[in-house]
Amino acid sequence: DGGITQSPKYLFRKEGQNVTLSCEQNLNHDAMYWYRQDPGQGLRLIYYSQIVNDFQKGDIAEGYSVSREKKESFPLTVTSAQKNPTAFYLCASSIEGGSNIQYFGAGTRLSVL
Amino acid sequence: GQQLNQSPQSMFIQEGEDVSMNCTSSSIFNTWLWYKQDPGEGPVLLIALYKAGELTSNGRLTAQFGITRKDSFLNISASIPSDVGIYFCAGHPNTGANSKLTFGKGITLSVRP
């Protein structure tokens, strides 16, 4: 089946630890995105990538890092510099220059121990 | 930056009732999208709109692209318990390579049996 796979579904981070959230898509989409969702805040863009080996900061990039070494993969690292990491993280992908529709994964819930 | 306004934050209706939601912007968008998010899952696209004045249906859902291109509306008819979730609007200006999708904060819909 074609789609976007996020893993793990639940993740726990200890103080001072970096954690990496996985996002893989087999839709052959050019663009990929990471959003953070907090209750009542909607979706806030962390980073996005329109092409392999290139990515741009979104509205709340501080404390996060990404890489785009392959078209199918766009992992997000939540670094120890992110002081309030507890949230629901969503990955999405879209065809660049197409319908503007973003397709989402099922999300990863990150909590701090 | 561009913002989309959705209010109220929560809506409570009785099963079988119709419900309307709107989404407004101070800027023009050339694509309007409506998504639904079930608890603990990623948003799923309900309806996509690409032309001012366009009216599109998907089962019991109907959405309209406002004539001014600064608003969109979603109607759900004869609500059922599985309509519970968060409904997001999203708009895209289609103004160039760096233009991005903007999301509203969402409306949480509860349906009383």
Quick count: other Cβ atoms within 10 Å of Cβ A47? 22
Residue located via tokens 């879209």: A94
The answer to whether A101 contacts B1, with C-beta atoms less than 8 Å apart, is no
- Long-range pairs for A14-19: beta carbons < 8 A, 24 or more residues apart: A14/A112, A14/A113, A15/A80, A15/A112, A15/A113, A16/A80, A17/A80, A18/A77, A18/A78, A18/A79, A18/A80, A19/A77, A19/A78, A19/A85, A19/A110
Which element (helix H / strand E) includes A76? strand A76-78
Q: Please report which confidence band the pLDDT of residue A22 belongs to, taking 50, 70 and 90 as the band edges.
A: very high
The answer to whether B1 contacts A59, with C-beta atoms less than 8 Å apart, is yes
Enumerate the residues of chain B whose CB falls inside 8 A of the CB of residue A105. 42
Share of chain A above pLDDT 90, in %: 82
Work out how many CB contacts closer than 8 A connect A with B.
46
Segment B91-109, tens digit of pLDDT: 998 776 667 899 999 999 9
Quick one: how far is CA B74 from the chain centroid? 5
Is B65 an 8 Å CB contact of chain A?
no
Segment A72-104, tens digit of pLDDT: 999 999 999 998 999 999 999 998 777 789 999
Q: Is the pLDDT of residue B1 over 60?
A: no
Rounded Cα distance, B100 and A27, in Å: 20
Q: What is the pLDDT of residue B100?
A: 84
The answer to whether A43 contacts B103, with C-beta atoms less than 8 Å apart, is yes
